[in-house]
Amino acid sequence: MGKIRALIVDDEPLAREGIRMRLKQEPDVEVIGACKNGREAVTAILRDVPDLVFLDIQMPRLDGFGVIEAVGVRQMPHVIFVTAYDEHALRAFEVSALDYLLKPIDGGRFSEALERARSRIRDENLESVSEQLHKMMAALKVERNRLERLSIKSAGRITFLGVDEIDWIEAADNYVQVHSGHESHLLHATMNSLESRLDPNAFLRIHRSAIVNIRRIKELQPMFHGEYRVVLKDGTNLTSGRRYRENLQKLLNDL
């Protein structure tokens, strides 16, 4: 096959030039263009149909993910993402096994990512790339929907509580009681809605009426029928429900 036709997309001139200089050292790669924003990128991808795109994530107005949505997953070429750091994006990349480069770009990592892209392009495995992009966009949607803090209205004021400050959450009729240290806050929400938006790596549903911060668990004491007494670091004692024993078993298996 001929040279790999690469497009560089980054809103920072130095970053564009840095990638261009690295690619100059690769005799089988031809840089066909460099775009300074997402809108230019969408036009160039649809018009020039590159084999490979180095795509910056953080760009004003239309970011890297917006570019993918505008072009369409099925029409996207092979992508190597470039990011200064985005926790949600990194998790989405890990789920989908797509390549990304952290700024400032490491030479060794750049070479590895480019070599993997070469292999995929030679195999003409675009179907696999589309599946990975689809998986990444789905994972990103979930990650960006994660709760990072709660807004609690009480006594004419709004209190902001970071999710990492939560010890455990208790069902209370049409509300939930959020326990944090020596304080508790009443929040108009359901257990199911909160569970769906809390990070499952940090919070665990142990009962239909209780969600706990995994980092606050001190002891698990086996009881009858697969139930556990869950002792928190502040001395709180909770009992798991049989329906949720698989959650606790998974926690034990991950230790």
Where do we find the tokens 């400032």? 104
Do residues 74 and 99 lie in contact, with contact meaning Cβ atoms separated by under 8 Å? no
Query: Has residue 97 got a pLDDT over 70?
Result: no
| pTM of the complete model | 0.59
pLDDT tens per residue, range 40-67? 999 999 999 999 999 998 888 888 888 9
The answer as to CATH 1.10.10.10 being correct for domain 4-144 is no
Grade residue 197 by pLDDT with cuts at 50, 70 and 90. Answer: confident
pLDDT at 128 over 80: no
Convert the pLDDT of each residue in 131-156 to its tens digit.
887 777 777 776 666 778 888 877 77
Residue 213: what pLDDT?
95
Give me the pLDDT at residue 65, please: 86
With tokens 């840089």, the residue in question is: 31
Query: Which sign does the torsion angle of CA 139, 141, 144, 145 carry?
Result: negative
Q: Which of 31-35, 186-190, 229-233 has the lowest mean pLDDT?
A: 186-190
Alpha carbon 247 to its chain's center: 22
Domain range summary for the chain, segments of one domain joined by +: 4-144, 149-254
Question: What is the CATH architecture assignment of 149-254?
Answer: Beta Barrel (2.40)
Q: What is the pLDDT of residue 91?
A: 64
How far is Cα 5 from Cα 50, in angstroms, rounded to an integer? 5
